[in-house]
Amino acid sequence: MSRALLRSVLELRPAVPRPIASPRILPATQIRALQTQTPRQFNPTAQFVDPQPRPSQLPEQSTSSLSSSSQREPPKQKPNPPRVRLPTTPPEITPQKLDPSVKSLLPLLAAQPAHYITIHIHGRPYLVTEGDAVRLPFLMPDVQPGDVLRLNRASTLGSRDFTLKGSPWVDERLFECRAVVTGTEQEPVRVMIKKKRRCRRKKHVFSQHRYTTLTISEVKVVTEVPEDA
Amino acid sequence: MTIRGLPQISTGRNGVGAFILQCKRLDFHYCDWAGSSRGMNGFIKSLLPKFAAAHPQIEITVSPRPRKHPVVVGHYVNGKTKSIEVKNMEPMQVLQKVKLLRDASGEKDKRTTKPVTSINESVRGIWSPYHGNGMRV
């Protein structure tokens, strides 16, 4: 057991700089991360050149490899080839023709000063304006504070008098919405008391979740729509 | 005439315009002798140089604290500190805690139920029954 532990630690040592300079995986299908603050290089070959990838090099285990450096070594390598999951790109949406009413009314919407937008992240709507702070209900993987996300899925876009409703989504070419990852937030520890009837025993279960916080840095209506739209 | 202070014109919102990492300093305290500092010492030797190079905006200080458990202390822009004891941890676990301190804002942990907080005025205004076309009952 101790030899396995030592071996796992030795094997982890070269993999140590990974979490800092790790290749970026696109966070979700709806979100396209733009690297503006600290451009980190994407090096897709690192996952392929290794003839026998260590368990910590597989992408689906990259987060768990940070949490525990012990109990990492599997007893024996399975003969079947390891699954390598590539970062997926969102499916290409064929650009639709814009409705003429949208084309005519969009400059009026853009001319009004303040805009609101209902963006969707993982299917949940967030009605935001520029400068708002959003605490997502989950911890977004593979982002660092300062990263800029381009949010391209929205259901409504509006100003004081006009609202552009998507069916179900507003055309991506009509707006630009960007959010800056400002960090992670913790909630206070939750204590759940597990108790059964007619039994004095009480069990306290603790949990504490972490959440990613964003700031909406830009909401812009694009009026120069390409000609083919 | 009474003297009145200057009213605050604008409120700082991090990420609008410029983004500033809220963690400004990380203190690492270790002990050379005690076994609970073994992972921390390995972290300082192997992982900390890379972390410090990747985060030039964080000031990093390393100082011994003999006969005590190892501690990482984060200092934040709002003047608060947050400290985590990292006794008996492996280097990678210490790195997790350091990342937690880096990502934190320095605020107290709060339970929030609404995801969006805004200080902007409502875009569409407040509804009034006396304006618009009215509704026939």
Q: Report the alpha-carbon distance of residue A196 to residue A208 in Å, rounded.
A: 24
From chain B, the residues in CB contact with A66 under 8 A are 92, 95-96
Give the residue among B94, B1, B23, B46 at the shortest CA–CA distance from A14: B46
Give the residue among B64, B71, B73 at the shortest CA–CA distance from B33: B64
Which phi and psi angles does A179 have, rounded to 5°?
Answer: -135, 145
Q: Report the chain A residue with the minimal C-alpha distance to residue B11.
A: A131
Q: Does B119 contact chain A (CB < 8 Å)?
A: yes
Indicate yes or no: CB of B110 within 8 angstroms of CB of A187: yes
The model's pLDDT over A98-152, given as tens digits with 9 standing for 90+, comes to: 888 888 999 999 999 999 999 999 999 999 999 999 999 999 999 999 999 999 9
Q: Does B77 contact chain A (CB < 8 Å)?
A: no
Which phi and psi angles does B74 have, rounded to 5°?
Answer: -105, 135
Query: Can you tell me which residue has the tokens 């400059």?
Result: A107
From chain B, the residues in CB contact with A20 under 8 A are 50-51, 54
Nearest CB among B22, B93, B123 relative to A114 is that of: B123
Nearest CB among B17, B117, B121 relative to A133 is that of: B117
Å from B112 to nearest chain A CA?
A: 8
Sign for the pseudo-dihedral over CA of B12, B18, B19, B23: negative
Indicate yes or no: CB of A145 within 8 angstroms of CB of B103: yes
- Provide the domain limits for residue B36: 28-103
Indicate yes or no: CB of A146 within 8 angstroms of CB of B46: no
Q: Does B118 contact chain A (CB < 8 Å)?
A: yes
Nearest CB among B54, B92, B103 relative to A66 is that of: B92
* B67 domain-assigned: yes
Cα separations (Å) of B98 from A8, A23, A189, B47, B83? 22, 20, 19, 11, 10
* B92 domain-assigned: yes
Question: What value of ipTM does the predicted structure carry?
Answer: 0.86
Average pLDDT of the residues in B72-101: 96
Of A226 and B14, the structure prediction assigns the larger pLDDT to B14
Q: Report the alpha-carbon distance of residue B2 to residue B93 in Å, rounded.
A: 58
Average pLDDT of the residues in B56-81: 96
pLDDT at A12: 53
Which tokens sit at A37? Answer: 């603050």
Interface size between A and B, measured as CB pairs under 8 A: 126
pLDDT at B53: 97
Indicate yes or no: CB of A133 within 8 angstroms of CB of B116: yes
Q: Residue A23: count other Cβ atoms within 10 Å of its Cβ.
A: 17
Q: Binning pLDDT at 50, 70 and 90, where does residue A64 land? A: very low
pLDDT score of B136 more than 70: yes
* B89 domain-assigned: yes
The model's pLDDT over A39-48, given as tens digits with 9 standing for 90+, comes to: 444 444 444 4
Number of folded domains in chain B? 1
Which tokens sit at B62? Answer: 């390393």
pLDDT score of B17 more than 80: yes
* B131 domain-assigned: no
Nearest CB among B96, B103, B111 relative to A183 is that of: B103
Å from A165 to nearest chain B CA?
A: 15
Q: Which amino acid is at A19?
A: P
At B84, which CATH number? 3.40.30.10
Domain map (residue ranges) of chain A: 2-67, 114-221
Q: Does B59 contact chain A (CB < 8 Å)?
A: no
* B86 domain-assigned: yes
pLDDT at A228: 63
Give the residue among A132, A118, A220, A114 at the shortest CA–CA distance from A182: A132
Q: Binning pLDDT at 50, 70 and 90, where does residue B135 land? A: confident
pLDDT at A178: 96
The model's pLDDT over A159-204, given as tens digits with 9 standing for 90+, comes to: 999 999 998 899 999 999 999 999 999 999 999 999 999 999 999 9
pLDDT at A71: 43
From chain B, the residues in CB contact with A210 under 8 A are 100
